[in-house]
C-alpha cells in the first residue's frame, strides 16, 4: 500500500475534481461507501473515473443545508481519494466506494462548470508517539472493519 501511496504523492500537484460532502469525512487508508445524488458531485466523480488514476479530492462542506457550495463553503482540508467502484442507481444517484489515499490541503480553487476543481498539497501525517495512540488506532481500525461488515 505504501508503494501505491508513493506513486500518488509524486503527482499530487495536479488539479483534481472536488467532491463536497455533507456530514461525512473520508479518512486516509480506509474505504468508504458513499451515496451521491447532487449533480455537481456526480459530475466530479464521473470526471475522476475518466482519469487514469481515478482520483479526486473529498472535503466536507461547512453547512450541509447548502445545495450549491462554493469555495468559501468548503473546509480547506480534505482527503485525496481513489474511486474504486461506481454503480449508477435507477434514480440517477451513484453508489460509490472510495479509498482514502492521503490528507491534503486545498491550495487553490479553480472555478468551473459543472463542478469545482482544486489544486492541493500533501499534509504531513503526525507520527505515532505512544502505545496509547497505537492502541487507539487499532481500535479505530477494528471499529471501521466491523462497520464495513455491517454496512
pTM over 0.75: no
CB under 8 Å, gap of 24 or more: what pairs does 141-149 form? Answer: 144/30, 148/31, 148/33
Instruction: Tell me whether residue 143 is in a domain.
Output: no
| Count of structural domains, the chain | 1
**Which pLDDT belongs to residue 97?**
94
Q: Which structural domain, as residue segments, surrounds residue 49?
A: 2-126
- Regarding predicted confidence, which is higher, 11 or 2? 11
Question: Tens of pLDDT along 93-133?
Answer: 899 999 999 999 999 998 777 889 999 988 876 655 566 66
Instruction: Tell me whether residue 67 is in a domain.
Output: yes
Instruction: Tell me whether residue 135 is in a domain.
Output: no
In this prediction, residues 55-62 reach a mean pLDDT of: 94
Using CA atoms, how far residue 147 sits from 78, 83, 95, 140, in Å, is 22, 20, 17, 10
In this prediction, residues 46-66 reach a mean pLDDT of: 92
- pLDDT bucket at 10, cuts 50 / 70 / 90: very low
- pLDDT bucket at 13, cuts 50 / 70 / 90: low
**Which pLDDT belongs to residue 9?**
47
Judged against a pLDDT cut of 90, whether residue 14 lies above it is answered with no
Instruction: Tell me whether residue 141 is in a domain.
Output: no
Mean pLDDT of the residues in the chain? 85
Judged against a pLDDT cut of 60, whether residue 32 lies above it is answered with yes
Q: What is the CATH number of the domain that holds 60?
A: 2.30.130.40
Instruction: Tell me whether residue 140 is in a domain.
Output: no
Amino acid at each position: 500500500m505504501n508503494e501505491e501511496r508513493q506513486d500518488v504523492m509524486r503527482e499530487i500537484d495536479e488539479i483534481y475534481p472536488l467532491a463536497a460532502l455533507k456530514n461525512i469525512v473520508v479518512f486516509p487508508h480506509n474505504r468508504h461507501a458513499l451515496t451521491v445524488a447532487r449533480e455537481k458531485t456526480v459530475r466530479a466523480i464521473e470526471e475522476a473515473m475518466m482519469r487514469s488514476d481515478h482520483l479526486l479530492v473529498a472535503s466536507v462542506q461547512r453547512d450541509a443545508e447548502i445545495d450549491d457550495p462554493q469555495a468559501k463553503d468548503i473546509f480547506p482540508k480534505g482527503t485525496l481519494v481513489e474511486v474504486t467502484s461506481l454503480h449508477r442507481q435507477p434514480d440517477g444517484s451513484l453508489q460509490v466506494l472510495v479509498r482514502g489515499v492521503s490528507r491534503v490541503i486545498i491550495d487553490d480553487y479553480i472555478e468551473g462548470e459543472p463542478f469545482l476543481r482544486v489544486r492541493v498539497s500533501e499534509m504531513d501525517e503526525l507520527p505515532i508517539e505512544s502505545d496509547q495512540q497505537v492502541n487507539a488506532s487499532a481500535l479505530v481500525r477494528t471499529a471501521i472493519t466491523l462497520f464495513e461488515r455491517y454496512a
